[in-house]
Amino acid sequence: MKEIINTLNQRVANAEGDILRFFREIVAIPSMDSDIEEVGKRIGEEMRKLNYDEVYVDKYGSIVGKIGNGPKILLYDTHIDTVGIGDPDQWEWDPFEGKVEDGMLYARGALDEKNSTPGMVYGLAMARDLSLLEGFTCYILGNIEEWCDGVGCAAFHDWEGVHPDFVVIGEPTNMKVYRGHKGRIEMEITCKGKSAHAASNYMGDNAVYKMLPIIQAISEMEKDFEPHEFLGQGRVTVTRISSVSPSTNAVPDECTIFIDRRVTFGETKEYWRNALEAIIPESRKDDFEIRKLIYTEPSHTGAVYEYEQYFPAWALEENHPFVQASVKTLQALWSTGDPFGQGKWDFSTNGNYWTGKLGIPSIGFGPGNEIYAHAVNEHVPLKDVVEATKFYALLPAMIK
- Mean pLDDT across the chain: 96
User: Looking at the predicted structure, is the pLDDT value of residue 358 above 90?
Assistant: yes
CB hemisphere CA count around 11 (13 angstroms): 21
**In Å, what is the CA distance from 372 to each residue of 25, 106, 117, 315, 369?**
21, 10, 18, 23, 6
Residues 364-384 have a mean pLDDT of 97
pLDDT tens-digit readout, 240-279: 999 999 999 999 999 999 999 999 998 999 999 999 999 9
Give the chain's length.
Answer: 400
Domains defined for the chain, CATH in brackets: 2-181+313-398 (3.40.630.10), 183-295 (3.30.70.360)
Separation between Cα atoms, residue 333 and residue 115, nearest integer Å: 19
Report the first-to-last Cα separation within the chain, whole angstroms. Answer: 15
pLDDT value, residue 335: 80
* pLDDT of the residue at 341: 76
What integer pLDDT is reported at residue 273 of this predicted model?
Answer: 96
Q: Which is the catalytic residue, given 46, 81, 113, 370?
A: 81
Q: What is the mean pLDDT of residues 368-392?
A: 97
CA distances from 324 to 55, 178, 179, 298, 342 (A): 31, 11, 11, 39, 10
- Give DSSP secondary structure letters for 328-397: HHHHHH--SSS---EEEESS--THHHHTTTT---EEE--SS-GGGTTSTT-EEEHHHHHHHHHHHHHHHH
* Rounded Cα–Cα distance for residues 2 and 393 (Å): 14
Q: Is 145 among the catalytic positions?
A: yes
pLDDT of residue 214: 98
217, 276 Cβ separation under 8 angstroms: no
- Torsion of the alpha carbons at 100, 102, 108 and 109, rounded to the nearest 10: 110
Half-sphere exposure of 69 (CA within 13 A, CB side): 2
Q: Which of 298, 218, 304, 297 is nearest to 258 (CA)?
A: 218
Helix (H), strand (E) at residue 216: helix 207-219
* DSSP reduced 3-state for 274: helix
Residues 6+ away with beta carbon under 8 Å from 268: 312
- Active site (annotated) includes residue 92: no
Q: What is the 3-state secondary structure (H, E, C) of 75-106?
A: EEEEECCECCCCCHHHCCCCCCCCEEECCEEE
pLDDT at 7: 98
The secondary element (H helix, E strand) that includes residue 255 is strand 254-263
Answer whether 262's CB lies under 8 Å from 346's CB. Answer: no
**pLDDT tens-place string over residues 304-357:** 999 999 999 999 999 999 999 999 999 999 985 455 678 999 999 999 999 999
Residue 66 has pLDDT above 70, yes or no: yes
In terms of Cβ atoms closer than 10 Å to its own Cβ (0-12, 13-18, 19+), residue 13 is exposed
Closest-CA residue to 191 (of 144, 113, 243): 243
Q: Spell out the long-range contacts of 238-242 with Cβ–Cβ below 8 A and sequence spacing 24 or more.
A: 241/211, 241/215
Q: Looking at residues 289-304, what average pLDDT do you find? A: 97
Write down the catalytic residue from 77, 113, 145, 370.
145
